[in-house]
């Protein structure tokens, strides 16, 4: 994808930090986190291809986690971001890990990344994909009315929030705008259901965090993640659901900073040793 077509917002100064949202989301999902990072880092909040204001690839063009990773790598290269810190949620977490494998990222912090589900979890993702395809055939006004009903909103709170009863969760609802034939969400979800992160070296600090109330990608997936990325720092986010940036932005920001600082410390130590040898 042409990197000039990727929509983003930039804030702060310092070493670059790229934030990647999840499937069906957009860069605004990081809104509560960015102010806590912009004092230390030059933060790039990106709309992934097909979401927010970034267009999707045309039908027939590659559209999966590999092509998404290619797009973000091209974005970083175009903007002159040399080994930026990268953080991502869900789909964005998978892309972040792949950027770590490629040596693009200077550090990787991920929250409930896709690619570590067991067979039951994959079945659940395929079921969501089948339901989305059926919903695409329903007229939009009908979908919008159904999504606004009390049972649908209650289901959204349970699926997406750590504490469905909290006042902050009250406004949570499913967005149905992406449930149209050929929409990016419908194109991507079967790719995510089949995606499996394979164990490969990642030559930078990695933190993998999972909300202990995640009901979309279950916390048990963290065990698979730890086996495949054994050098990662593993974190349980107490009380958080699948999108911890909304449940606990303070902890999310602190874990990102921890990973970034770990990488920056190693970078400075390496530079000092190299200077001493010179």
What average pLDDT is seen over the chain?
91
Spell out the residues 6+ positions from residue 198 whose beta carbon is closer than 8 angstroms to its own.
228
- The alpha carbon dihedral of 51, 40, 240, 193 has a sign of positive
Least confident of 75-84, 137-146, 228-237: 137-146
Is pLDDT at 161 greater than 70 in this prediction?
yes
End-to-end C-alpha distance for the chain, whole angstroms: 41
Provide the pLDDT for residue 171.
77
Average pLDDT over residues 87-93: 98
Task: Identify whether 149 is part of a domain.
Answer: no
Least confident of 41-55, 96-110, 141-155, 230-244: 141-155
Task: Identify whether 26 is part of a domain.
Answer: yes
In total, how many domains does the chain have? 1
pTM over 0.75: yes
Task: Identify whether 95 is part of a domain.
Answer: yes
Banded pLDDT at 272 (limits 50, 70, 90): very low
Task: Identify whether 124 is part of a domain.
Answer: no
CATH number of the domain at 82, please: 3.40.50.1820
∠ Cα 122 237 35 (to 5°) = 110
Task: Identify whether 126 is part of a domain.
Answer: no
User: Which residues is 41 bridged to in the sheet?
Assistant: 15
DSSP letter for 11, please. Answer: E
DSSP 183-227: -HHHHHHHHHHH--PPP----S-EEEEEETT-SSS-TTHHHHHHH
Is pLDDT at 21 greater than 90 in this prediction?
yes
User: Which residues is 111 bridged to in the sheet?
Assistant: 89, 209
pLDDT in tens, 43-60: 999 999 999 999 999 988
Task: Identify whether 172 is part of a domain.
Answer: no
Banded pLDDT at 262 (limits 50, 70, 90): very high
DSSP 97-156: HHHHHTT--SEEEEES-SS---HHHHHHHHHHHHHHHHHTTS-HHHHHHHHTSHHHHHHH
Q: Which helix (H) or strand (E) holds 10?
A: strand 8-11
Task: Identify whether 142 is part of a domain.
Answer: no
Task: Identify whether 147 is part of a domain.
Answer: no
pLDDT in tens, 134-156: 888 888 888 788 888 888 888 87
Q: Which domain holds residue 98?
A: 3-117+198-277
Provide the pLDDT for residue 163.
76
């Amino acid at each position: 994808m042409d990197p000039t077509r990727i929509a983003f917002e930039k804030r702060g100064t310092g070493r670059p930090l790229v934030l990647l949202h999840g499937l069906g989301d957009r860069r605004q999902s990081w809104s509560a986190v960015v102010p806590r990072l912009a004092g230390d880092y030059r933060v790039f909040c990106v709309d992934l291809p097909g979401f927010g204001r970034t267009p999707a690839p045309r039908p027939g063009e590659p559209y999966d986690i590999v092509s998404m990773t290619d797009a973000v790598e091209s974005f970083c290269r175009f903007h002159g971001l040399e080994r930026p810190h990268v953080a991502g949620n869900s789909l964005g977490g998978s892309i972040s890990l792949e950027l770590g494998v490629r040596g693009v990222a200077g550090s990787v912090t991920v929250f409930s990344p896709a690619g570590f589900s067991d067979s039951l979890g994959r079945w659940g993702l395929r079921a969501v994909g089948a339901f989305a395809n059926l919903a695409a055939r329903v007229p939009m006004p009908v979908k919008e009315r159904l999504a606004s009903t009390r049972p649908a909103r209650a289901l959204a709170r349970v699926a997406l929030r750590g504490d469905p009863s909290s006042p902050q969760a009250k406004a949570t609802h499913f967005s149905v705008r992406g449930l149209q034939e050929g929409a990016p969400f419908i194109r991507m979800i079967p790719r995510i259901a089949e995606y499996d992160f394979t164990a490969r070296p990642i030559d930078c600090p990695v933190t993998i965090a999972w909300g202990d109330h995640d009901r979309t990608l279950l916390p048990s997936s963290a065990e698979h993640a730890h086996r495949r990325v054994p050098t990662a720092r593993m974190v349980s986010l107490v009380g958080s659901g699948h999108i911890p940036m909304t449940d606990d932005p303070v902890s999310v920001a602190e874990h990102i900073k921890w990973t970034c600082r770990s990488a920056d410390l190693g970078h400075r130590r390496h530079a000092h040793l190299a200077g001493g040898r010179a």
